[in-house]
């Protein structure tokens, strides 16, 4: 719960910055202000939320306890401190604060330490039974290592501590850093987790392992080509066009194969009435398909570089953030139910998991969020920054509503009083869960 609360706080920071006109599209994609915004979203929001979910969910995937429960809090502390140092360094790089560029390497080291604890803890847990979705998690963790390595080189180079080689990697390697982070760490991991969550909550058979392995192979190959091929291309100063083209084709194939797997899960479900989290996850899958379609059209028309910001915005907020919010709504309810009513189950009347939430009330906030994301994407493509900021403001309204529903779930506010707290049950704490 502490990871989720921290991640949501960073998301609010990111949305507030965008509403205020900080970073892209008011400034260039490569500007220090945009770097602040990108890292708040990708590290503070998405990565922290993903780590929190994986600490809870990887043991479920492998039916084994987490390697070390004690590492979660130090990892969160290191990630928070590292991100704060990195952001201050970026603000100094852009002239908004004193140029304390030495904070960039310090932030990178702290982030590597935090992510290192996460990778070792989750990696050793998933390695106990590396089958099915756990393989996606392992591939995602490997991509996280590559992302952190590139990021550290960039941080040292920006501080002037990396020499000519570091400057060369900084000049040409940013696309590789983004692909490893968004495509490998966040997307492959989200795909693997979604396989199990969708099957669990819709009572569907697991995806055939041969099909999921094919999807994973395509995705892992795409990241491998980008990282390894990109490093080789930088070393020989040969340019990244060929590497990025191959990566794009493999990424498109991965998206198509994943779409096939998701359609199979939906069509094979036994629960015909879909819960809100699944219906909203379907909108994130639609956003992923839209991202792929927009990418193909932009590449074919030669306009990809001009509209890269809109493409990334839809991928980050429509696909990844939408899926995380949809599943977070369900995960919090499920964990709250286990924590509160698991100890008294069979000894006293208990509510259902669905009784902890009000889907009719929550659905409008998700609709507002997704509609605002899609509208914001169109406004970026139409070069309308004022309308884009209005769209982000509406995203913020939707997010406030979603977070309010999550807090109500933790407070058991929608549970009928006769079964709200039976004898032996303890009310859950808002920011951490009792094991």
Rg of the chain over Cα atoms, rounded to whole angstroms, equals: 21
State the pLDDT at residue 434.
66
Q: In whole angstroms, what is the distance from residue 414 CA to residue 337 CA?
A: 12
DSSP 345: B
State the pLDDT at residue 427.
86
State the pLDDT at residue 416.
87
- Phi, psi (degrees; rounded to nearest 5) at 237: 50, 50
**8 A C-beta contact, residue 119 and residue 50:** no
State the pLDDT at residue 435.
57
Q: In whole angstroms, what is the distance from residue 298 CA to residue 307 CA?
A: 8
* Total residues found in the chain within this entry: 435
Percent of the chain that is helix, strand, coil (3-state, to 5): 75, 0, 20
257-261 contact pairs (CB < 8 A, 24+): 257/211, 257/214, 257/215, 257/218, 258/191, 258/215, 258/219, 258/288, 259/285, 259/288, 259/289, 260/211, 261/195, 261/207, 261/211, 261/212, 261/215
Q: In whole angstroms, what is the distance from residue 430 CA to residue 176 CA?
A: 38
Q: Which residues pair with 348 in a beta bridge?
A: 345
SS3 16: helix
Q: In whole angstroms, what is the distance from residue 121 CA to residue 125 CA?
A: 6
**8 A C-beta contact, residue 185 and residue 143:** yes
Q: In whole angstroms, what is the distance from residue 22 CA to residue 26 CA?
A: 7
State the pLDDT at residue 414.
92
**8 A C-beta contact, residue 289 and residue 224:** no
Q: In whole angstroms, what is the distance from residue 273 CA to residue 292 CA?
A: 29
What pTM value is reported for the model?
0.95
pLDDT in tens, the chain (435 residues): 899 999 999 999 999 999 999 999 999 988 999 999 999 999 999 999 999 999 988 998 888 899 999 999 999 999 999 999 999 999 999 999 999 999 999 999 999 999 999 999 999 999 887 878 899 999 999 999 999 999 999 999 999 998 888 999 999 999 999 999 999 999 999 999 999 889 988 889 888 889 999 999 999 999 999 999 999 999 988 889 999 999 999 999 999 999 999 999 999 998 888 999 999 999 999 999 999 999 999 999 999 999 999 999 999 999 999 999 999 999 999 989 989 998 888 888 889 999 999 999 999 999 999 999 999 999 999 999 999 999 999 999 999 999 999 999 999 999 988 888 888 888 888 887 765
Q: In whole angstroms, what is the distance from residue 428 CA to residue 435 CA?
A: 11
């Amino acid at each position: 719960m502490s990871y989720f609360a921290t991640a949501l706080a960073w998301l609010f920071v990111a949305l507030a910055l965008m509403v205020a006109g900080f970073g892209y599209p008011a400034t260039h994609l490569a500007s220090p202000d945009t770097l602040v915004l990108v890292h708040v979203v990708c590290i503070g929001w998405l990565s922290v939320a993903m780590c929190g979910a994986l600490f809870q969910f990887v043991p479920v995937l492998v039916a084994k306890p987490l390697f070390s429960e004690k590492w979660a809090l130090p990892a969160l502390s290191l990630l928070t401190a590292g991100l704060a140092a990195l952001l201050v360094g970026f603000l100094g790089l852009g002239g908004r604060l004193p140029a304390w560029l030495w904070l960039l390497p310090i932030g990178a080291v702290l982030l590597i330490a935090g992510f290192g604890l996460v990778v070792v803890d989750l990696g050793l847990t998933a390695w106990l039974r590396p089958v099915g979705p756990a393989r996606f998690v392992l591939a995602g963790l490997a991509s996280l290592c590559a992302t952190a390595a590139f990021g550290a080189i960039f941080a040292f180079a920006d501080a002037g501590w990396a020499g000519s080689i570091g400057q060369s990697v900084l000049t040409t390697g940013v696309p590789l850093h983004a692909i490893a982070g968004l495509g490998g760490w966040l997307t492959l991991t989200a795909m693997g987790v979604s396989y199990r969550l969708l099957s669990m909550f819709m009572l569907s058979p697991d995806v055939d392992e041969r099909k999921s392995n094919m999807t994973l192979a395509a995705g892992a190959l795409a990241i491998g080509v980008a990282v390894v091929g990109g490093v080789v291309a930088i070393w020989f100063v040969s340019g990244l066009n060929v590497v990025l083209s191959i990566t794009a084709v493999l990424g498109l194939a991965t998206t198509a194969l994943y779409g096939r797997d998701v359609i199979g899960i939906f069509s094979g479900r036994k629960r015909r009435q879909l819960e809100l989290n699944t219906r909203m996850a379907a909108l994130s899958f639609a956003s992923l398909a839209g991202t792929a379609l927009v990418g193909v059209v932009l590449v074919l028309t030669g306009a990809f570089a001009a509209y890269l910001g809109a493409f990334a915005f839809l991928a980050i907020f429509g696909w990844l953030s939408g899926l995380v919010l949809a599943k977070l709504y369900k995960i919090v309810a499920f964990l709250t139910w286990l924590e509160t009513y698991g100890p008294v189950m069979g000894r006293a009347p208990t509510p259902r998991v669905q009784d902890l939430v009000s889907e009719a009330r929550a659905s409008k906030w998700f609709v507002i969020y997704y509609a605002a994301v899609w509208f914001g994407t169109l406004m970026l493509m139409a070069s309308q920054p004022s309308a884009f900021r209005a769209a982000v403001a509406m995203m913020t309204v939707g997010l406030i509503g979603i977070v309010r529903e999550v807090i109500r779930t933790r407070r058991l506010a929608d549970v009928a009083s006769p079964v709200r707290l039976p004898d032996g049950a303890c009310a859950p704490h808002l920011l951490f869960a009792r094991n």
